[in-house]
Structure 1
């Protein structure tokens, strides 16, 4: 497992919470937003729980496409080994400049998704149960100065 060092975890959580997320299901791009329901996704692709995860740019540092694609291939292998169905997805910064591919995974439990995210150097995932708003799960300890967000959970 990688050790993740983040300069400002509160700013990173705010950026993740504000980012635009999308999942591609049957040719339709369906949006995901932290704090909002994902009823369109749930209608198209029913499951009890969902997780958005990526292997790109670990530790929030830019990596080459080759390194990112290699990490993504390893993540896909682990998801397949776990029998976790997935749909192509991506995250995009609010300015539109930053975009990275990931996966919306159905049925993956919190422990497994957190372990995978940490293994691939990620600071957070989106996770929610059917019928509930999308939540940001930060895999870092909450800084004392981090604002309280009702849709963001911290490791500790």
Structure 2
């Protein structure tokens, strides 16, 4: 089951695919914006009776914005959610590397991130044997080595 914010992301992602006429698209985004306003009020004030307006604007309002019939359109998953998931994974790898550096070098994770990680990025980017020794000493796995090579 989708929550209202996720449904709004799905609609926002797929409106340009479904509505090709600029006027219809503008009207559809107007109704989506109205739904967002009511959703914000509903969440902020905890007035769940506003949910009926959110749903009306997100469904019937957007559907009424369409004048011309369109053929079938394949909808896509919201990119924002995919980007957030990918960023969360990258942060987890970075955090894990910083924990290993902090434990070995007797530093805080913050110092490891700001003062050691940039140097490790340079070392892992360049060809050479030092990265193998450093990786073994820190106990890094291949995904961590790849992260240091690409992102540091």
TM-score bin, normalised by smaller chain: under 0.3
More helix by share: 2
Instruction: Tell me the TM-score normalized by structure 2.
Output: 0.24
More strand by share: 1
Structure possessing the higher relative contact order (Cα contacts under 8 Å, 6 or more residues apart): 1
Find the structure with the greater CA-based Rg: 2
Instruction: Tell me the TM-score normalized by structure 1.
Output: 0.23
